[in-house]
Structure 1
Amino acid sequence: MIGRKGPAPVGGAQGQPQGEALRLDGVRKVYGAEDNRVVALDGVSLSLPTGSFTAVMGPSGSGKSTLLQCAAGLDRPTEGRVFVEGAELSGDGEAALTKFRRERIGFVFQQFNLLPTLTVTQNVVLPLKLAGRKVDRGRARTVLERVGLGERLNHLPAELSGGQQQRVAIARALVTRPRVVFADEPTGALDTRSARDVLVLLRESVQVSGQTVVMVTHDPVAASFADAVLYLADGRIVGRQVAPTAEAVAERMTHLAEEVERQRTMAEA
C-alpha cells in the first residue's frame, strides 16, 4: 500500500489545504413523475478541500453515481447548488456548462471511452481540440510518460491491454490540467495489478499535482487509497471514514448494507 499525505478531507476536518475544491449545498435529485418518483439524492451537502482524494461508497441504489454526475455537471440537480473552486455550476445553457466542465473538470470512467480509430496521443489531445485550446503534444507526451505509456504513443486502443487503455483515459483526463478529477468505478474492469497501477496514478495526481480526486467505487481496496471515504445510503450521506483501510471499509460496508436492508424491510412491513 502506498503512503498517504496527511490532509484531510471531508468537510475540512484537520484544516483545508489551499481552499475548497468542491461544494454541494442541499443537492437533491428526483427522477420520474409524481406518481412514480425516485429520490436518488436527498439533500446532500459536502465540502472537499483542494488536494484531497475522496472515495464514495454505498449499497446498490444509494445514489453514488448520481452524486458524481451532479457534482461533475453531467446531470442537473432537481434542487441545490454545486460549486467547483468557488464557481457555481450554473444553468446558463448547455454550451456554458460544457465549457465550464472542459476548463475545470476531468473524467475517468469504468468504460475507457477511447476512440478506436485514434492513436494513444490523438485520444489524449482530443479534449484540447474540443475545447479549442492549443494542442500541446509535448504536454501530452509528458503525461503519457508519467502514466507509463511513453512507448505507446502511436498505438491504437485495440493494441493495448485493459490496464493500458485505462491509463490512456487517465492521461486524457489530466492533460487539460483539471482541478477536480471525477472517477466512476475506474478499476471495475481491470485485473488486480492494473487496478493498483491506476489507483497509484490517481493518488499521484493528488500528491504531485495538487489535484482533487473524487472516486465512486464498490471495492474496499480501491477506497483504501483515498484520504477519506464518504458513505451513502438512500441518497443521503450517512458517514465518513478518514485514513481508511481495506478491512475497515469492508466492515463498514457490511454493517451499512445490513442496516439499509433492515430499514427497508421495516418500511415495507
Structure 2
Amino acid sequence: MTDAVRLETLYKTYADTGTAVTALDGVTATFAAGTFTAVMGPSGSGKSTLLQCAAGLDRPSAGRVFIDGAELTAIKDTAMTRFRRGRVGFVFQDYNLLPALTVEQNVLLPLRLAGRRADRGRCAEVLTRLGLGDRRHDLPERLSGGERQRVAVARALVAEPAVVFADEPTGALDLRSAREVLTLLRAVVHEHGRTVVMVTHDPVAAAYADSVLFLADGRLAGALSAPTAEAVAERLTHLGDLVADRAGSPT
C-alpha cells in the first residue's frame, strides 16, 4: 500500500506574540492511499496545524511533507498553490460556498482556478453520486446544511485529488446530516479509492474512520485502528488528563 501523504519530522513554531509557541513538535506520520484517518487531540494539541501543514495551506518551520510522492515543502508558494489545486481537495466546517454561484459553478470553481477544463459531465456524475443531481442549478441558500456540505465534498472530489483533507466537516451539522456526510466520506474511501484525512473533536465522527491518530502537545500520542466512539472517548480522556498534568507540573 502506497502513501498518499507522508510527514517527516514536522515542527511548527509561532512567535507572533513575542513568545514562541510550538504547535508541532517533530511529528512523523504516514497516511496510506485508500484509507480514512481521523486526527484527534485535546484543544491546542496541534491537530488543525497538522492538517494545514500537511495540506500545504501553511508551511512547517522544519520538516518535509510529501503528497502522492511529491515533496510539497520543496516548492515555492506559487507552485505549491498550483499543486494543491490539482492534487488536494478540501472540506471545511463552514462549507465555503460562494452564495452567488450555483451548485454546479461552486463545484467547478477549483478546476477553473487551476486553469483546467470545466468538465460539466464529470460534475454531473459526482453530484448525482452524492444525491444532488437535481440541484445543480440551485443557489446554496436553497440547500440544507447537509446538502451544502455534500456540495463541498463534490467540489473536493471533482478534480480527482490524491487526498481530501476535512477540517471538522460535521461541526456545523445536525446529527442526521452529520451521519450522512460521514457515511459519504467513508464511501469516498472504500468505494472510490480516495484518501481522506479528517480533523475532528467528535468521537462518534472518528468512529467512521479506519483509524485515529492522536496528538497531545504537538506530538504523536498513539493511534487506534477500527475505532469505536467509546474507545476514542476513553483515549481522549486520558490524553486530556495527561495534558492537564503537564500543565500543572512545575518547570
**Fold agreement, TM-score > 0.5:** yes
Residue 263 of structure 1: how far off its partner (Å): 1.4
In structure 2, list runs of 5 or more residues that go unmatched. Answer: none
Alignment of structure 1 residues 13-162 onto 2, 5 Å:
17=1, 19-32=2-15, 35-162=18-145
Counterpart of 1:224 in structure 2 is: 207
2:179 corresponds to:
196
Q: Which amino acid aligns with 1:51?
A: G
* Structure 1 outlier segments of 4+, above 2 Å: 90-93
| CA deviation after TM superposition for structure 1 residue 93, in Å | 2.2
Unaligned runs of 5+ in 1: 1-16
> Root-mean-square deviation (CA), in Å?
1.1
Give the fraction of aligned pairs with identical amino acids, expressed as a percent.
63
Residue 152 of structure 2 corresponds to which residue in structure 1? 169
Partners in 1 of 2:208 and 2:119 — Cα distance?
31
Report the Cα offset of residue 91 of structure 1: 4.3
Alpha-carbon separation, structure 2, partners of 1:70 and 1:90: 9
Give the Cα–Cα distance (whole angstroms) in 2 for the partners of residues 267 and 155 of structure 1.
58
Partner Cα separation in structure 2 for residue 84 and residue 59 of structure 1: 26
1:48 CA displacement? 1.4
> TM-score if structure 1 supplies the norm length?
0.91
Query: Residues of 2 paired with 1:26 and 1:34: CA distance?
Result: 25
The 2-side partners of 1:143 and 1:97 are apart by 26
Give the CA deviation at 1:254. 1.1
1:33 CA displacement: 5.7
Contact 2:59/2:73 (<8 A) preserved: no
Q: CA deviation at 1:110?
A: 0.2
For 2:135, what is the secondary structure of its paired residue?
Answer: coil
Aligned to 1:257: 240
Distance in 2 of aligned mates of 1:258 and 1:147: 40
Instruction: Render the CA deviation track for 1:139-192: whole Å, top value 9, x for unaligned.
Output: 101111111111111110011111110100000000000010000000000001
Partner Cα separation in structure 1 for residue 74 and residue 64 of structure 2: 10
Give TM-score, length-normalised by structure 2: 0.98
What is the CA distance between 1:92 and its match in structure 2? 3.0
Distance in 2 (alpha carbons) for counterparts of 1:221 and 1:163: 17
Q: Does the 8 Å contact 2:11/2:27 carry over to 1? A: yes
Residue 208 of structure 1 and its aligned partner are, at CA, apart by: 1.6
CA distance in 2, matches of 1:267, 1:26: 28
Following TM superposition, by how much is the alpha carbon of 1:267 offset from its aligned partner in structure 2, in angstroms?
Answer: 3.7
